[in-house]
Amino acid sequence: MFRPTAVCLLVGTGFLFVLSGFAPENLQLKKPGHSWLFAEKPKASSVRDENGDWMGMIQGAPVHSAESGSLQLRGGTDAILIGGRGARLKGQAITLSSWVRMDAGARKGGIIGQVQDNRYGGKGISLGYDVAGFRMGLAANGSGQNDGTITWLRSSSGLNTGKWTHVACTYDGTTMRLFVDGNVEAASVAQSGPIIPANSPLIIGGYADDDERVPFIGAIHSASIHELALSPEEVNGLFEAGKAIKANSSAPQGAWYVVAPYLQYPTTESIMVAWETSRPVAGRVEYGLSTPLSGKVPFQAGSMQTVKIDGLKPGGSYFYRVVCEDPSGGELASPLLSFQTDSGPGSPFVFATIGDTQRNPRITGQVATRAMENRPAFVLHAGDVVDNGSDKSEWVNDLFRPCQELFGRIPVIPCIGNHERNHAFYYQYFALPEPEYHYQFTFGDADFFSIDSNKSLIPGSVQFNWLEKALASSKSKWKFCFHHHPAYSSDSDDYGDTFSGKPSTLGGANPRHLLPLYEKHAVDMVINGHVHLYERTHPIKGGKVDLKDGIVHLTTGGGGGGLENFVPHSSWIKAVGRVDYHTCIIQVDPKAIHLKAYDKDGILFDTWMKSK
C-alpha cells in the first residue's frame, strides 16, 4: 500500500528536487517555483503552496483519501483555485506537472491551467485531458501566432482511468512537449515567444475560462509549476521520484456525476433537468431568475434522475444547479448553470441540428462547440446519438461528456436512430412526450414532429395515422418534421451502390410513405440524419423540383460518425452537398426561416431562406 507519510517526508526536504533512491543516478531534480500537496487532509478550505505564496483555495466539497494521500474531486463545483500575488502563468519557459487518477474524461478538462480558449482570442496554457487522453494547450506571442491561436497536443496513450498517472508539459519558448509517465508523447514547434497571459482563474482540478466551467472527476495527489522548461530527462526524473503511488489501488469515494446535469423539453412554463450519479442520492434542484436561487424542487434518492421545473415565466432566463446530499461526503453540487424557456408565439428563436454523433467524442465536442457559439434555444438531434445503444459507456463517454457544456444550458431533443437499437437507455436518458418514439412539441411559431423511421410508416400504420391527425390539427405557422432516415438522399451507397453498378434509389422507401402527408399539410422542412454528410435538397413536391410549393429535405449527419460520400454524378434532388462534420443553425421568426450550415471549424458553407 502506498504510504503518503513517506512522500510527505520526502516532500518536506524539497518536493521532487533531491530524492535519493528514486531519481535516476546523478540527476539533481530542480525545485519547483510552486507546489501543492494533498497527502494530509486540509485543516481548512485552503492548501498551502510548498515553494511559493500562491495559496490554493478549495472550492466545493472534495473528499480526502488518506490511503492515497490525495484529494478526490467529484465533479460539480469541486476544484482548487490558486490565488496570491502575481498568480499568472506567463513568460516563455514553464513546466506543469501532476500526479492524478482520472476517473472520467470530458470533452475538455483541466489538471493545471490558466487559459482562454476562444477561437479568435486564445490565451494561456493548460495541462489537461479529453475523453481520449491527456492534452496540452498553449498560445504564445511569437511570429505568426500572436492572433491568439492555441496549439493543442494530445497524448498517444489513453487516460488509463482508475490508475495513477504522472502528467507533465513543458514549453521553452520554441517547443511544446507533453509527457505521460515520464515519456514524451507529443511535441510541437507551432508556438514561439512568451505565453499570452490569460485573465481567467489559475485552477487545479478543473477547466475554467470566461464562458466554460468543466469539473474534474478523479483524484489529485500533487501538482507543481516550474518557472523553467525541464528537460525530458528531468521530467522522467519527476516520474521516477514519485512512481511508488502507481501501486496504490484507491477507488472513488462517495457519489459523483456520471452524467452531468442536462436539459430537455422546454415549454413556455417548464423544463426538464436530468443527470446520473454513481450511487443513489437524494437532494434538490435549485433555480431562479437571479442568485441566490429561491426556487427548490426536491428529489428522492436515486441514481438516474429527471426533475421537471414548472411554473416558469415565458421567455425567462433562469439559473439552476443540482445539489445532491451524499451521506459519505456532504453535498455534491453541480456548477451554476442556466436555461431559457420558450417565449411563445410571435417571438423569433434559433435552434441547432446535430446528427449521427455515434462514437467520435472529439469531433462531437467540436460540433457541440459550434452549436453553442450560436446560442440556440434547443438542439434537435437527428438520431444515432451513439454507435451501440446497449453500451452504457458510449452514452456516458461519447455523447454526454463531449456535449456536457452544451446540454447543460441548451435542451437536447432527439429522434431515435437505428444505432440506438430501441434500447432502454434511450428512454432512460431522454424524457420526451409520450409515447417518446414519436411525439410533437411546439416552440414559438413552429410545430415539430418527431418520427421513428425504424418502424413501419406505411399508410394505416400507427405513426402514419398519428402524423396525419397531428399535422391536420397544427395551427402553427411553421412545420418541421424530423426522423433519422431520409426520404431523399444522394448518398453513394446507403440506397444502392453507385460505385459498384447498383443505381441509387435516392432515398429510403419507408420514410417516403410520409411524403403525401408532408405535401398535403405544407410541411416547411424535413430534417434527417443517417447519411454522414450534409445535403440540402431543392424544394421537392410530387417527385419533382417545385421552387414555389416544394419541401426542402435536410440531411445533417455530420456529428461524428465516419463520413460518407455522394453519388459520382449530380443528382436532380441535390441543391448543396458537403462531406464534412457540421452543425446547422436555423432561425425561425414570424415571417421567415433562415438556415446556416457551419463545418466543425466554424466556417459557414451554406445558407437558405424561406419566407411566407
Domain end: 340, 359, 378, which one?
340
Looking up residue 64, the CATH number of its domain turns out to be 2.60.120.200
Domain end: 204, 226, 247, which one?
247
C-alpha dihedral (213, 367, 446, 424), degrees to nearest 10: -80
Q: Is the same domain home to 296 and 391?
A: no
Identify which of 458, 489, 60, 438 has the alpha carbon closest to the alpha carbon of residue 254. Answer: 60
Domain end: 201, 221, 247, which one?
247
What's the pLDDT band for 85 if we cut at 50, 70, 90?
low
- pLDDT over 70 at 597, yes or no: yes
Average pLDDT over residues 53-77: 90
User: H or E segment at 72?
Assistant: strand 70-74
Residues 6+ apart with CB under 8 A from 223: 35, 36, 96, 97, 98, 111, 112, 204
Looking up residue 497, the CATH number of its domain turns out to be 3.60.21.10
Q: Is the same domain home to 211 and 261?
A: no
Residue 359 lies in a domain: yes
- pLDDT over 50 at 14, yes or no: no
Residue 252 lies in a domain: no
Tens digit of each residue's pLDDT (9 = 90 or more) over 410-426? 999 999 999 999 999 99
Tens digit of each residue's pLDDT (9 = 90 or more) over 528-585? 999 999 999 999 999 999 999 999 999 999 999 999 999 998 899 999 999 999 999 9
Residue 249: the pLDDT is: 81
Residue 284 lies in a domain: yes
How far is it, in rounded angstroms, from Cα 609 to Cα 241? 63
Q: Number of folded domains in the chain?
A: 3
How far is it, in rounded angstroms, from Cα 604 to Cα 612? 25
371 to 182, 255, 596: CA distances (angstroms): 37, 31, 11
What's the pLDDT band for 1 if we cut at 50, 70, 90?
very low
Please list, residue by residue across 138-165, b when 16 or more beta carbons sit within 10 angstroms of its beta carbon and e when fewer do: bbbbbeebeebbbbbbbbeeebeeeebb
Looking up residue 273, the CATH number of its domain turns out to be 2.60.40.10
Residue 6: the pLDDT is: 31
Tens digit of each residue's pLDDT (9 = 90 or more) over 17-40? 333 334 455 567 789 999 999 988
Q: Is the same domain home to 89 and 37?
A: yes
Q: Is the same domain home to 182 and 319?
A: no
Residue 386 lies in a domain: yes
Residue 110 lies in a domain: yes
For residues 209 and 198, the answer to whether their CB atoms sit within 8 Å is yes
Residue 83: the pLDDT is: 86
Q: Is the same domain home to 354 and 466?
A: yes
Helices assigned H by DSSP within 60-155: none
pTM: 0.85
Average pLDDT over residues 32-56: 92
Tens digit of each residue's pLDDT (9 = 90 or more) over 224-278? 999 999 999 999 999 999 999 999 887 777 788 999 999 999 999 999 999 999 9
Mean pLDDT over each residue of the chain, to the nearest integer: 91
Q: Is the same domain home to 519 and 394?
A: yes
Q: Is the same domain home to 206 and 241?
A: yes
Q: Is the same domain home to 194 and 331?
A: no
Q: Is the same domain home to 553 and 476?
A: yes
Q: Is the same domain home to 587 and 447?
A: yes
Residue 50 lies in a domain: yes
Q: Is the same domain home to 310 and 361?
A: no
Residue 453 lies in a domain: yes
Residue 144: the pLDDT is: 60
- pLDDT over 60 at 8, yes or no: no
Domain extent, residue 181, equals 4-247
Q: Is the same domain home to 414 and 523?
A: yes
CB atoms within 10 A of CB 464: 18
Residue 19: the pLDDT is: 34
